[in-house]
Amino acid sequence: RTVVIEVCSRATLYVLSDDRGDKHTKMTPPSAVHILNSILLVLTFIITGCLSQSKPTVTIQVPSIVKNGSESIVLDCLYEFDKWNPLTPEDEGLVVKWYFKDTLVYQWIAGNPPQAASLLTNRLNLEYTISNEPAQKYRAMQIVTPTSELSGEYYCFVGSFNSESTSIRKKMTVYVPETQMLLYAPRRTTTEVDRKFEVRCEAEGVYPEPNMTISSRERLEASDDVSVHIETTNIDGLYNIQAWIEMVDRGDSNPITFDCILRIPEANYTVHKSIIYYPSTQDTKEIDPYGDSNSGSWLAPTTAFLLVITMLLSTRL
């Protein structure tokens, strides 16, 4: 007779005995060895079959753009197992690990408090919990006051005694806006006879790689003798960038409007400044770059010429 034992939805255990089904047939009692073998078979089946977890599906939620020095942020590791498991996370050996640039920075072993490592040591709120479920409680890490050195790729690893899985990598950019940005025209000395003047744009303390655009809204001719210069430096991981235009004073008193745009492409961050330069007095006036009185006409290609120089950072110290 075949005795069928349903242990779980995915597996069936067969225990074979006499198949004749005759109630008058004398059956030989099983030996102790047979009983022990049957018990070991059942235990092995339970441990390795029904109660083992299948490979978990792991995804992560990582903010893509964060401002330097902002409030705390949370990086979440989401996972689930597609098989029912009555074991506790501790018995199953659940472990969650976070990596930053392939370096372990966070680890939670179920039944133990989470730990920070490497660059995130003393930078995490280790009491932060994202769920009340024992198997999910410390899956996320809360970074207190993110800074630019935490920019890079993160991924999460989830494992147990029987399975493991790793998420895809996601990049987080912690950008640093400029500490100051200036657009101005240095005054010429009375000894200068070449009638040249310059307009400068400078930004300091930026991260990551910035670029800068400086332009004139007025129509320029080839005879205007215009030259453009760019300089960039990297000091302690932060970028300084400046651009300036040199051009010949036409000798008239017509004001000239200049625009400077600072961009951090990876952070989708832009700052725009504008000034009006008065050649006769060498005075400047800062204006709203988006004001109706100044922004409407210069964008039309039929009425204005835009001299633009854009540079992605090329010099790193």
Q: How many structural domains does the chain have?
A: 3
Instruction: Give Cβ neighbours of residue 304 (< 8 Å, ≥ 6 apart).
Output: 217, 218, 219, 297, 298
Domain ranges, residue 17 = 2-21+28-50
Helix (H/G/I), strand (E/B), else coil: 198:
strand
pLDDT at position 80, please? Answer: 86
Q: Rounded to whole angstroms, how far apart are CA atoms 308 and 215?
A: 5
Instruction: Give Cβ neighbours of residue 195 (< 8 Å, ≥ 6 apart).
Output: 248, 249, 251
Q: Rounded to whole angstroms, how far apart are CA atoms 50 and 13?
A: 11
pLDDT at position 51, please? Answer: 47
Name the domain boundary from 160, 175, 190.
175
pLDDT at position 220, please? Answer: 64
Name the domain boundary from 175, 210, 233.
175
User: Please, which residues bridge with residue 59 across strands?
Assistant: 78
Task: Note whether 163 and 207 are same-domain residues.
Answer: no
Q: For residue 317, is it within any domain?
A: no
| Pair of tokens at residue 249 | 């004073």
| Pair of tokens at residue 248 | 């010949």
Task: Note whether 137 and 32 are same-domain residues.
Answer: no
Helix (H/G/I), strand (E/B), else coil: 278:
strand
Helix (H/G/I), strand (E/B), else coil: 104:
strand
Between the CA atoms of 22, 23, 24 and 26, what dihedral angle is there, to the nearest 10 degrees? 90
**Nearest Cα to 199, choosing from 136, 153, 256, 139?**
256
Q: For residue 186, is it within any domain?
A: yes
> Does residue 130 contact residue 136 with C-beta atoms inside 8 Å?
yes
Residue linked to tokens 């999460």: 156
Name the domain boundary from 152, 175, 198.
175
User: Please, which residues bridge with residue 197 across strands?
Assistant: 247
pLDDT along the chain (317 residues), means of 10: 39 39 49 68 50 74 97 96 69 94 98 97 97 94 97 97 93 97 82 74 97 85 70 95 86 86 96 92 86 39 34 39
pLDDT at position 252, please? Answer: 73
Task: Note whether 154 and 254 are same-domain residues.
Answer: no
Q: For residue 74, is it within any domain?
A: yes
Task: Note whether 61 and 79 are same-domain residues.
Answer: yes
51 — alpha (psi -120 to 50), left (phi > 0) or beta? Answer: alpha
pLDDT at position 30, please? Answer: 61
Task: Note whether 276 and 202 are same-domain residues.
Answer: yes
Task: Note whether 73 and 40 are same-domain residues.
Answer: no
In tens, the pLDDT along 262-314 reads 999 999 999 999 999 988 788 888 988 887 433 333 333 322 333 333 333 33
pLDDT at position 226, please? Answer: 74
- Tell me, what CATH number does 196's domain have? 2.60.40.10
pLDDT at position 290, please? Answer: 80
Task: Note whether 218 and 146 are same-domain residues.
Answer: no
Q: What's the one-letter identity of residue 189?
A: T
User: Please, which residues bridge with residue 273 across strands?
Assistant: 260
In tens, the pLDDT along 176-214 reads 999 999 999 987 765 555 677 889 999 999 999 999 999
**Nearest Cα to 130, choosing from 96, 161, 163, 176?**
96
User: Please, which residues bridge with residue 242 across strands?
Assistant: 202, 231
Task: Note whether 305 and 187 are same-domain residues.
Answer: yes
Task: Note whether 218 and 307 are same-domain residues.
Answer: yes
Task: Note whether 169 and 216 are same-domain residues.
Answer: no
Q: Report CA Rg, the chain.
A: 35
Task: Note whether 267 and 184 are same-domain residues.
Answer: yes
Between the alpha carbon of residue 254 and those of residues 63, 124, 139, 279, 304, the distances in Å are 49, 58, 64, 7, 15
> Does residue 241 contact residue 210 with C-beta atoms inside 8 Å?
yes
Q: Identify the helix (H) or strand (E) that includes residue 224.
A: none
pLDDT at position 310, please? Answer: 38
Q: Rounded to whole angstroms, how far apart are CA atoms 132 and 136?
A: 7
Task: Note whether 170 and 243 are same-domain residues.
Answer: no
> Does residue 157 contact residue 164 with C-beta atoms inside 8 Å?
yes
